[in-house]
Structure 1
């Protein structure tokens, strides 16, 4: 039986505010081999771990990330008040460098680092990517640079030896052609976009699908040559006896 590896989507976001240090570390403490998180850029060029450009959903405060400096953002709480009220009021928007420090304590973990399309469109690939790769270089062997944006994959491949992953907007012939040109190490897609009961496009890449919280569905995709399953609830997924067979030793790394 094919047993997939689980990737913690924005950390353990089912239980903790997404993309926060507590969410990411809780996933690692659950035994995650892989985590995924998002990177955006502030008005003053600081790379932060955050999904949206608007602050409201995850902070409860109106504002646009691209219009604020990190000095303005650093005291804003990223506690998802609609979901968690004040339970995680101590959680802030992390700098990318904060998450790098966290990952240094878990050297067996791999991070899928998604540089967001909006940031690349706002500031330009050639401006953002050098800083991103420089900050991540200290944990180079632990990182996969991923993006929906083709230029981010091309830049990474042309200017570094980081592993790469391209996230598909659509699973169609046009994107298959692009994938064969880009030759990323990983192809990533919403699981609903891949035709049912079929193996996805073969190639030099590995496949990852998201967002799955059903262990049996994860095992189904693993049987169709998809070795990585991204989930918002890695702790519950690892309670499944078969999925737990790939439980890592990250618990012992801290």
Structure 2
């Protein structure tokens, strides 16, 4: 029997070499052959989706405050160089709106995007405003996008909405939706939603045995070791999420 080789997702773009959630990082991941990219989404103070992971601007931008405290026009002027990792190499890098990434995806019809809606946005604006804003922004490429989140209320509401039916259609009752958990045991909170995907932290997985959750396709983050990736694929994991997609792909067979 042939060895199972997982498919790779570029976690926050090519984040090993570029600032995370940046347009250059997304472009580089796609140039390197990524068929799947993942990005983190929050809302600006005026309700516009932007790419950002953390609750505060400090680590990425070196500034006080949070994404939801500033209007889009201000956010688009902020440098996002991740100086602790890259020094001044990316001093000119700026935050990016979800609309800018959608324009990039429109130029690359072979790429599917996983958009993780951050809980901080849901806590600040509420489920409905966040879903409305993100679904509208992604609509031009909806058939190649999957909404994922840690937020159970957001996933529950999204699973009831008809406009999510336009999203990715490659398996699962609501395959345009995916849950994200830190620990494998937490998947129980997502039971019965008919999710197409389940993402789990590699450190939260059981040490052995097959992995499966309802009809969901499984993705594991953050993995950079080829042996770990292959072992997970043998246990039932389809996707591996990695900051270094090109490097990991070189170490995998085939």
Aligned to 1:152: 154
Offset at residue 102 of structure 1 (A): 0.7
Cα distance in 2 for residues equivalent to 1:84 and 1:158: 43
The structure whose RCO (Cα within 8 Å, separation 6+) is larger is: 1
Aligned to 1:67: 69
Q: Assess if the C-alpha contact under 8 Å between 1:53 and 1:66 holds in 2.
A: no
In the alignment, structure 1 residue 196 sits paired with structure 2 residue 204 = no
Deviates more, 1:61-70 or 1:80-89: 61-70
Q: Assess if the C-alpha contact under 8 Å between 2:198 and 2:213 holds in 1.
A: no
Of 175, 179, 183 in structure 2, the residue corresponding to residue 170 of structure 1 is 183
Taking structure 2 as the reference length, what is the TM-score of the superposition?
0.91
Cα distance in 2 for residues equivalent to 1:181 and 1:203: 8
Offset at residue 179 of structure 1 (A): 2.6
Superposed CA deviations along residues 194-249 of structure 1, whole A, max 9, x for unmatched, are 1112112342111000000001110110000001000011111121251xx3xxxx
Q: What residue ranges of structure 2 are gaps of 5+ in the alignment?
A: 168-175
Aligned to 2:228: 217
In the alignment, structure 1 residue 51 sits paired with structure 2 residue 53 = yes
Cα distance in 1 for residues equivalent to 2:24 and 2:121: 24
Offset at residue 5 of structure 1 (A): 0.2
Aligned to 1:94: 96
- Count of residue correspondences: 241
Deviates more, 1:163-172 or 1:176-185: 176-185
Aligned to 1:249: none
Of 17, 25, 36 in structure 2, the residue corresponding to residue 15 of structure 1 is 17
Aligned to 2:240: 229
Q: Assess if the C-alpha contact under 8 Å between 2:115 and 2:145 holds in 1.
A: yes
Cα distance in 1 for residues equivalent to 2:149 and 2:30: 22
Aligned runs of 1:18-33 on 2, under 5 Å?
A: 18-33=20-35
Q: Assess if the C-alpha contact under 8 Å between 2:199 and 2:219 holds in 1.
A: yes
Aligned to 2:172: none
> Which 4+ residue blocks in structure 1 deviate beyond 3 angstroms?
none
Taking structure 1 as the reference length, what is the TM-score of the superposition?
0.91
Q: What residue ranges of structure 1 are gaps of 5+ in the alignment?
A: 246-254
